[in-house]
């Protein structure tokens, strides 16, 4: 029997965070051609931009210490993001986060699958961004 707490292809749209993820992803894609999990968490109000910058500067041992949700919810959000990105036909792309040649860690454990999920960006395929905000004409 499938775990009701774990999003699957059959049930991922039913999770309460899914509409917030859809909205946050649409806002991010209106500005740029890819979605990074760290930006999603900032857009959802679950990560303070200043904490993200401190982590990028190597001042925090791991990002999960400053995420404003429990680890179960954080993992669920990453999984929901992956399903939604697939629906939007975004291409997954692994990204290396480092500061002065030192790899930055997302989790305390440093577990490979967790680190990989956090560093997976989702990129718009093709030359133009169909999600971009329409340009307004200057009067």
**Alpha-carbon distances, residue 106 vs 62, 64, 92, 97, 122 (angstroms):** 5, 6, 18, 9, 17
Q: For 27-87, give the secondary structure using H, E and C.
A: HHHHHCCEECHHHHHHHCCCCCHHHHHHHHCCCCCCHHHCCCCCHHHHHHHHHHHHHHHHH
To the question of pTM greater than 0.85 for the whole model, the response is yes
| Segments making up each domain of the chain, as ranges | 15-123
- pLDDT 10s digits, 93-138: 999 999 998 999 999 999 999 999 999 999 999 888 888 877 655 5
Average pLDDT, the chain: 91
């Amino acid at each position: 029997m499938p775990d009701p707490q774990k999003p699957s292809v059959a049930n991922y749209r039913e999770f309460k965070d899914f509409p917030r993820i859809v909205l946050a992803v649409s806002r991010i894609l209106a500005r740029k051609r890819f979605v990074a999990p760290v930006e999603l968490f900032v857009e959802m109000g679950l990560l303070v931009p200043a904490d993200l910058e401190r982590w990028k500067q190597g001042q925090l041992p791991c990002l999960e210490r400053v995420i404003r949700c429990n680890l179960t919810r954080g993992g669920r959000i990453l999984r929901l993001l992956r399903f939604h990105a697939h629906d939007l036909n975004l291409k997954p792309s692994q990204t290396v986060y480092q500061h002065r040649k030192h790899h930055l860690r997302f989790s305390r454990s440093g577990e490979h699958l967790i680190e990989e999920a956090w560093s997976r960006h989702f990129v718009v395929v093709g030359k133009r961004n169909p999600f971009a905000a329409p340009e307004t004409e200057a009067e």
